[in-house]
Structure 1
Amino acid sequence: MGARGDPRRRKDQRRRLASVSENPSIVLSGSGLAASIEPDAYVDGAYQLVVDGTPQSHVNMTDPRELFFEYVRRIGHVVDLVRSPAAPITAVHLGAGALTLPRYVDATRPGSRQQVIELERDLVDFVREHLPWPKRAQIRVRYGDAREVLGRLPAGLHGTVDLVISDIFNGAQTPAHVTSTEFYAMVSALLSPDGMLAVNVADGPGLAFARGQAATLSEVFGEVAALADTQILKGRRFGNVVLVASRSMLPLDMVPRLLAGGPYPAKLVAGRELRDFMAGARPVSDAEATPSPEPSRTVFGL
């Protein structure tokens, strides 16, 4: 995704990363889960954040524009399309991980204002220590439950946010309370009239959870599309579906070309095809919400 950047900057980053101890780890005080940072064996300057044995984030410190995980690349396409190229945006990230996407937004849209909401304060401190992001980046981290913190965001943000990215997991599952119409209504209140929401949904054969999430977003926003590997959309294996929603027409014209460009070819599902995908699924309220299905340990394991 573009040039590798200033060689002097790469040298400075490598010098900083040379101090990273081999596979640093921590037990998170909130969840009690173990987290570690492991170097990518094939990409110099790239690292992986692993939580409870599941890879949660991949960061290329040499070039944060390089997105490794399939679903993250697809959310990167949404970042690319939300406004004109290189234009700064206002973004809210629900779930921090190793801040892969905030780094991507900063690298591709300099000057962007970003809010990151994360439950595990010591996870962010751990990442900041071992995989620091640029100090110049306008990234503010807020701590607490995503839904609770959304309700406390400054009133000035309401109606002004260009992009919300929801990638919330407790271990390998998305908690129920961030999957409902009530939760998504809170997100909708943040967005500008043509702002967009991207949601990472993990599901398996049958895709009952993903179809329910698509129906829920359709109820709240109106315009919804899905981006995923065709084998996942056919329900043949467990994986990630990226759902994109807006109150305005989604800018989808460029998406098929972006998806076909690899290295992870995928499909865009929208319009009538999405309605067929949602057939029989109902919007999910707080009273009915359930966590996302738990994958087997072999699905996302190392």
Structure 2
Amino acid sequence: MRITMDADRSNGWMIELDGVLASYVALDDPTHLEFEYTRWIADMLDEVRPDEHLEFVHLGGAACSLPVYLATRRPGSRQLIIDFDAALIDLMRTQFGIRSSRRFALRTADALEGLRALPTASADVIVRDAFNADQTPQHLRGAEFAREVARVMRPSGIYLANIGDGPGLPMTRELLRHSREALALRPTERHNGHMAIISDPSVMRGRRKGNVVAALSRSPLPMHGWQQAVRRANLPARVTHGERLWAYL
């Protein structure tokens, strides 16, 4: 693990894990999200029942940038952050002052084991952002993991997954296949508004590797708000859903 100060921003810190830039913390502004995929997820969550207090589960917390953002934007909601890296969680507590509380719980555990310990239908939002270097561990990509996500999600719950992918989007296709089967979603008009992916168009076209954020729900997703949010983004992004998404299923 390596921590370095951002030379371009005071109170900005970068955390590197296994040689990969894993997270960014802006101590002076908890709503600042440096990574584009984190901004996409935050914009998506801002559109999810904004007047309600929700139950969030984060599988992989990195430096807790997104949970801290949500604690600022939705202070009445409860969050559970599950991360395998005990040293990283200890760093968040000692270096950046992030503490567990009644509404913000940090737990050291494997993501799949952590999910298994949670009650059925207990989460409104599950965010998977767990990596080993630049790869999602194999046991967090299969059918068993997808079934646990589906079990813990409430009927109106949303599953968001950050995927590092390359040409052809094989990791995205794998996640969509397992997750839609676990949630009993079909590529039909009836489920057009229940699945989406967000990414840079150049990644979608296979020109470079990059992040893809997948969203799935048994209930209709707030697609219109997400499309408006990516149009306002500083960097190019595209929401792919409906029949355009079927090619990846």
Aligned residue for 1:254, secondary structure, equals helix
Aligned residue for 1:149, secondary structure, equals helix
Tell me if 1:207 matches 2:169. Answer: yes
Q: Deviations over 1:224-245 (max 9, x none)?
A: 2100000001111000000001
Identity in percent: 34
Q: Deviations over 1:103-137 (max 9, x none)?
A: 01101000211111111111110122111226667
Tell me if 1:128 matches 2:99. Answer: no
Q: Residue 40 of structure 1 aligns with which residue?
A: 6
Contact 1:46 1:60 survives alignment (8 Å): yes
Q: TM-score normalised to the size of structure 2?
A: 0.91
Return 5+ residue gaps in structure 2 as ranges.
186-193
Q: Residue 237 of structure 2 aligns with which residue?
A: 266
Contact 2:13 2:25 survives alignment (8 Å): yes
Q: Residue 233 of structure 1 aligns with which residue?
A: 204
Tell me if 1:168 matches 2:130. Answer: yes
TM-aligned CA distance change 1:136 to 1:145, over 3 Å: closer
1:108 to 65, 73, 90: 73
Contact 2:147 2:179 survives alignment (8 Å): no
Q: Which runs of 4+ in 1 moved over 4 A?
A: 134-137
**Greater Cα radius of gyration, structure 1 or 2:** 1
Q: Residue 113 of structure 2 aligns with which residue?
A: 148
Contact 2:141 2:174 survives alignment (8 Å): no
Contact 2:2 2:16 survives alignment (8 Å): yes
Contact 1:111 1:137 survives alignment (8 Å): no
Q: Deviations over 1:241-288 (max 9, x none)?
A: 00001111111111111001121220000010000233xxxxxxxxxx
Superposition RMSD on alpha carbons, in Å? 1.5
Q: What is the rounded CA distance, in whole Å, between the counterparts of 2:79 and 2:101 in structure 1?
A: 12
Q: What is the rounded CA distance, in whole Å, between the counterparts of 1:241 and 1:116 in structure 2?
A: 21
Q: Residue 61 of structure 1 aligns with which residue?
A: 27
